[in-house]
Amino acid sequence: MSLPASLADELRASLGSEHVIAEPEQLRVYECDGLTGHRAVPELVVLPGSTEDVQTVLRALHRARVPFVARGAGTGLSGGATPVAGGVVVSLARMNRILEIDLDSQRVVVEPGVTNLDVTRAVAAEGFFYAPDPSSQQVCTIGGNVAENSGGAHCLKHGFTAHHVTALTFVLPDGEIVEVGGKALDPDGPDLLGVLVGSEGTLGIATRVTLRVVRAPETVRTLLAAFHTMDAAGAAVSGIVAAGVMPAAIEMMDRLTIEAAERAVAPGYPPGAGAVLLVELDGVLEQVEDDAAEVERICGECGAFEVRTATTDAARALLWKGRKSAFAAMGRIATDYYVQDGVVPRTRLPEVLREIEALSELHGLRVGNVFHAGDGNLHPLVLYDAEAGETEQARLLAEAILDACLEAGGSLTGEHGVGMDKVCSMPRMFSERDLQAFERLRRAFDPDGLCNPGKVIPTPRLCGEVPGPYRLHALERIGVAERL
């Protein structure tokens, strides 16, 4: 499908020709996000500079009935920002200004293209920080975080993106601008912010975001405990939570992930560890000291053979170095890897980890585990070699892991979103009636189905057959899917 010729001219006239990309080599830059297995080259990429620009673009696309996908930094891991073939990518990269810092109200107002870490940088000198901290925080954008309801290591105590967004300026798919929320935490009326945050770019485009920043704690202490087995580390996680300690973060890495991290960034984790646990405590000094002693005691009782404690920023950074680089480090031990993202009740962690090990053996592929243990949010990293033809086997293994999470009473995504990747897994977790309700909600915002189509909500023709005469699916019409 090609765009109406007049559309590109109209967008050039509105945005300036330097903010409309149409050259094939440049368009390829936008063909995928972090889920590189899904690719589609857009017809056009536009870079609006303001809410009004976004409105102009969406009005034009709506008139021409052209589908579009918003894009932040493209670090998403579920294919949420994968373009729709025949459609337009709306990149928010130019909208990267911090608009207001109101520390009396603990609010920061930003454009969606501001990176996550830049929010903390803007307020750190005044003793504040922005708590949700995806490992990609140096590059991922607030717009992407809002769309994915992103999490991070410190969300265990401080909450996810949804708990830190108090207002949004949002452009609906027909170009209407709406204001939702305010500076207060709990505005009147239905929770529309709750609908928009986490909607994975399917309801419109966020162009201004009001964020809650929190006071930096008086003290931070990070402990690293090394165990011989994942079971022992898992028992320590349960023990810490059961003891009433509320760490800011509890992260776990298994032997394979430790090996990759050592090869990549040499964090110097205790040799021979089958699992390491990183526990970060923050708050007032006396409480943190008491909690640190308690955590050390519990880890020791659960079989930790070494516990290190870091109190300075430099020492803490060293302990975190391996964890923060864990995904990228996989490149040292495998040519390709697939990041799975599932959730299990914390108490079922040891059993699900054993199941993952069994599935790994069954499918003949290695799996590294690095995850937010406190939230039960697993990130199994399925290692494979695409050139050796292992891609399909990796996909099957990743799906089997997801099934194991669901069977344990968990969920199919913790923070990376459904996107394109897990669209066909949705019926495993939600009933037909649930999915219909999601669809009705979506249609209320986007009756023409132009905003990030093909993501999140499955349709029978994409994920399986339905009886009756064949009907051309909307995604086939726009070139995303084809009938084989």
Task: Kindly compute the dihedral angle of the four CA atoms of residues 16, 18, 23, 26, in this order, to the nearest 10 degrees.
Answer: -130
Decide: 171 and 207 in contact? Cβ < 8 Å. yes
Decide: 171 and 54 in contact? Cβ < 8 Å. yes
- Cα separations in angstroms, 131 against 25, 119, 217, 472: 38, 10, 11, 45
3-state secondary structure of 353: helix
Contact flag: residue 136 with ligand FAD (CB under 6 A): yes
Contact flag: residue 205 with ligand FAD (CB under 6 A): yes
Contact flag: residue 377 with ligand FAD (CB under 6 A): no
Contact flag: residue 34 with ligand FAD (CB under 6 A): yes
From CA 346, how far away is CA 441, in angstroms rounded?
Answer: 31
Contact flag: residue 360 with ligand FAD (CB under 6 A): no
Helix (H) or strand (E) holding 283: strand 275-283
From CA 326, how far away is CA 251, in angstroms rounded?
Answer: 12
Q: How far is the CB of 149 from ligand FAD (least distance, A)?
A: 8
Q: How far is the CB of 45 from ligand FAD (least distance, A)?
A: 12
Q: How far is the CB of 19 from ligand FAD (least distance, A)?
A: 16
x-or-dash pattern for ligand FAD, window 206-245, by CB under 6 A? x---------------------------------------
Q: How far is the CB of 208 from ligand FAD (least distance, A)?
A: 10
Contact flag: residue 369 with ligand FAD (CB under 6 A): no
Q: Quick one: which of 51, 141, 169, 425 contacts ligand FAD (CB under 6 A)?
A: 141
Contact flag: residue 251 with ligand FAD (CB under 6 A): no
Measured at the CA of 43, the angle between CA 448 and CA 65, to 5 degrees, comes to: 20
Contact flag: residue 267 with ligand FAD (CB under 6 A): no
Nearer of residues 86 and 151 to ligand FAD, judged by Cβ: 151
Contact flag: residue 134 with ligand FAD (CB under 6 A): yes
Contact flag: residue 257 with ligand FAD (CB under 6 A): no
Contact flag: residue 112 with ligand FAD (CB under 6 A): yes
From CA 10, how far away is CA 179, in angstroms rounded?
Answer: 27
- Cα separations in angstroms, 163 against 107, 159, 194: 13, 6, 9
Burial of 350 (0-12, 13-18, 19+ CB in 10 A): middle
Contact flag: residue 248 with ligand FAD (CB under 6 A): no
Size of the site for ligand FAD (CB under 6 A): 36
- Cα separations in angstroms, 252 against 235, 321, 441: 12, 13, 37
From CA 203, how far away is CA 176, in angstroms rounded?
Answer: 12
x-or-dash pattern for ligand FAD, window 37-76, by CB under 6 A? --------------------------------xxxxxxxx
Nearer of residues 135 and 210 to ligand FAD, judged by Cβ: 135
Nearer of residues 145 and 166 to ligand FAD, judged by Cβ: 145
Q: Quick one: which of 51, 120, 452, 459 contacts ligand FAD (CB under 6 A)?
A: 452
Q: How far is the CB of 468 from ligand FAD (least distance, A)?
A: 32
Decide: 149 and 234 in contact? Cβ < 8 Å. no
Decide: 369 and 258 in contact? Cβ < 8 Å. no
Q: How far is the CB of 144 from ligand FAD (least distance, A)?
A: 2
Nearer of residues 151 and 410 to ligand FAD, judged by Cβ: 151
Contact flag: residue 81 with ligand FAD (CB under 6 A): yes
Contact flag: residue 420 with ligand FAD (CB under 6 A): no
- Our measurement of the distance from residue 318's CA atom to the centroid of its chain's CA atoms, rounded to an integer in Å, reads 24
Decide: 77 and 147 in contact? Cβ < 8 Å. no
Q: How far is the CB of 459 from ligand FAD (least distance, A)?
A: 18
Nearer of residues 75 and 459 to ligand FAD, judged by Cβ: 75
Nearer of residues 153 and 353 to ligand FAD, judged by Cβ: 153
From CA 14, how far away is CA 126, in angstroms rounded?
Answer: 40
| DSSP string over 130-181 | -----TTTTT-BHHHHHHHT---TTHHHH--GGGGEEEEEEE-TTS-EEEEE
- Binding residues for ligand FAD, rule: CB under 6 A, are 33-34, 69-77, 80-81, 92, 112, 134-136, 140-141, 143-145, 147-148, 150-152, 200-201, 205-206, 327, 415-416, 452
